[in-house]
Structure 1
Amino acid sequence: MRHLLLSATTAVLIATGAASAQSIDVPAGTYVTDPNHTNVLWKVDHFGLSTYIGRFDTMSATLELDPENVAESTLTATVDPTSVSTNFEGDKSFDEEISGEQFLNAPEFPEAKFVSKSIEITGDNTGKVTGDLTLHGQTHEEVMDVTFNTALNPHPMTQNPAVGFGGMMTIDRTKYGIDYLAGPVSKDVTLEIQAEFVPQS
C-alpha cells in the first residue's frame, strides 16, 4: 500500500510539473481572459489599522502565447477604473469617490493599461513581466511577479485549452499623480491578479 501511495504521489508530481514556466502544453496563439474566472484586487495600508482591499470588476487581457518559449510571449491588459468595487457600507458611494477626481479620475482617464515589454523566467513556474503601465494619464515602467498556476489541455468542462496565472505588482500611486491622502493611506498600492486564459474565439 505504501508503495502504491508513493507511486501515485510521484505520478501526480510529474504530471503537475510537466508544464512549467519554461514551456506550456497548449497550442500557440492568442488567448484572452475568461471574465468569470479573472479577478483584480488592490490593497493599501489604511492609517496603519488594516490593509484595505478593493477590486475592479471589469478587466480584460490578451496573451500572445508562445508555449515553447514563454519568454517570447506578450501580454496586454486593461482595467476599467469606473468598475472599482469597495463593498463600502455608509452614507456615500465610496466606489464613486475612488473612481472620481480625488483618486483615479476615471471620467478623464477611462482606462488603465499594462503592456509587456519583456518576460524573464525566474523558476519552474515563476517569472517577471516588465511593461509600461498607463494610469491616471501617466505611463511608467513597472514589474509584475507572475506565477504560472497550471495548464489544462483540454479543460474538462469546455474541452478547450486553458492556462492560469497569478500576478502581483506594487506601484507608487503618487508617481502617477494620485497623491490624495498619501501618508495616512499608503502611497504604495499592491495589485493582485488571478486570471484564466482561453483561446480567442
Structure 2
Amino acid sequence: MKLVKISTIIFVLGLSSCLSWAFAKSTFNDMPAGEYKVDLSHASIVWKVSHLGLSNYVARFTEFDAAINYDASDISKSQVTASINPMSIQTAYPNAAEKDFNNILATEKDWFNAKTFANIKFASTSVDMITEKTAVMKGNLTFLGVTKVISLDVVLNGAMTKQPFTGKPTLGFSASTNIVRSEFGMGKYIPSIGDNVEVLIEGEFAYSDK
C-alpha cells in the first residue's frame, strides 16, 4: 500500500510539473507581431444599465468580430478594430414566447435600430500604457450612425507564445468603458432607464497566420 501511495504521489507531482510547463505564460514582448483575431469561444461583450435605480439590467451581444494589429516592440502602437451585430443582443427576459424582448431592443428605432444600422463599430486611435499590465485605449465608436471618441480601461491579462489547446500564440485582455447612450441618439426612458451604460469586455486573441 505504501508503495502504491508513493508512486501515486510521484505521478501527481510529475503531472503537475508538466501542466505548469504547458500553461506557462510569456511576456507580451515575446509575442510575435502581426494580426490577432478574437477567439469567440473565449470572449464576451456584456453591458449593464440602471433600471429604475433598483438594479442594473444586464445583457450581452453574442455575434461580434475583433482583431489586433499587434506591435510587440511598442504595444502602444498596436491597433484594435471591432464590429458588433446588434441583432445578436441577448437578454434574460423570461417570457420570450409572449414577448420577444431581444428582437424589440434590436430592431425598434428608439433602441438599437439594427435594420437601419446593421453594425456597431470601433477603431482604436491610441493606446496609452499606464503600467506593464494596464492601458487606456481611445478610439472612435460608431453607433446609430453617430461617431464619438470613447476611452477604455484595458488590463493585459496574459500572453502565451503557444496556447496549449490551439498551439497558437494568444493574447488575453479585459476592458471596460462607460457610454452615455443619449449622446448617440438613444434617449428612450431616461432617467428611468439609465443614460450611462457600462460595457465589460473579455477576450482572447489568437495569432492569425493568414
- Name the TM-score, length of structure 2 as normaliser: 0.84
Other-structure match for 1:8: none
Q: Is the 8 A contact 1:24 1:151 kept in 2?
A: no
Aligned-partner residue type, residue 43 of structure 1? K
- For 2:100 and 2:72, the matched residues in 1 are separated by 44
- Following superposition, the deviation at residue 199 of structure 1 comes to 1.4
Instruction: Answer with 96-105 or 135-144: which moved more.
Output: 96-105
Match of 1:123 among 127, 131, 141: 131
Q: Is the 8 A contact 1:39 1:193 kept in 2?
A: yes
- For 2:30 and 2:117, the matched residues in 1 are separated by 38
Q: Deviations over 1:78-124 (max 9, x none)?
A: 11000000021122111012112221100000000010001000112
| 1:29 pairs with 2:37 | no
Q: Is the 8 A contact 1:34 1:195 kept in 2?
A: yes
Aligned-partner residue type, residue 94 of structure 1? F
| Structure 2 gap ranges (5+) | 1-23
Other-structure match for 2:179: 171
| Structure 1 gap ranges (5+) | 1-14
| Equivalenced residues, count | 186
- Higher Cα Rg: structure 1 or 2? 2
Q: Deviations over 1:34-57 (max 9, x none)?
A: 111110001001111111100000
- For 1:104 and 1:77, the matched residues in 2 are separated by 17
- Following superposition, the deviation at residue 24 of structure 1 comes to 3.1
Other-structure match for 1:107: 115
Match of 2:102 among 95, 113, 116: 95
Other-structure match for 2:16: none
Secondary structure of 1:174's aligned partner: helix
- For 1:40 and 1:157, the matched residues in 2 are separated by 23
Q: Deviations over 1:98-157 (max 9, x none)?
A: 112221100000000010001000112000110000001100000011000100111111
Other-structure match for 1:41: 46
- Following superposition, the deviation at residue 25 of structure 1 comes to 2.0
- For 1:124 and 1:70, the matched residues in 2 are separated by 10
Identity of matched residues, % = 31
CA RMSD of aligned residues (A): 1.8
Aligned-partner residue type, residue 179 of structure 2? I
Q: Deviations over 1:158-183 (max 9, x none)?
A: 11100000110101000000001110
Match of 2:164 among 152, 156, 162: 156
- Name the TM-score, length of structure 1 as normaliser: 0.88
| 1:61 pairs with 2:69 | no
**After the TM superposition, which segments of 4 or more aligned residues of structure 1 sit over 4 Å from their partners?**
none
- For 2:172 and 2:190, the matched residues in 1 are separated by 34
Aligned-partner residue type, residue 99 of structure 1? A
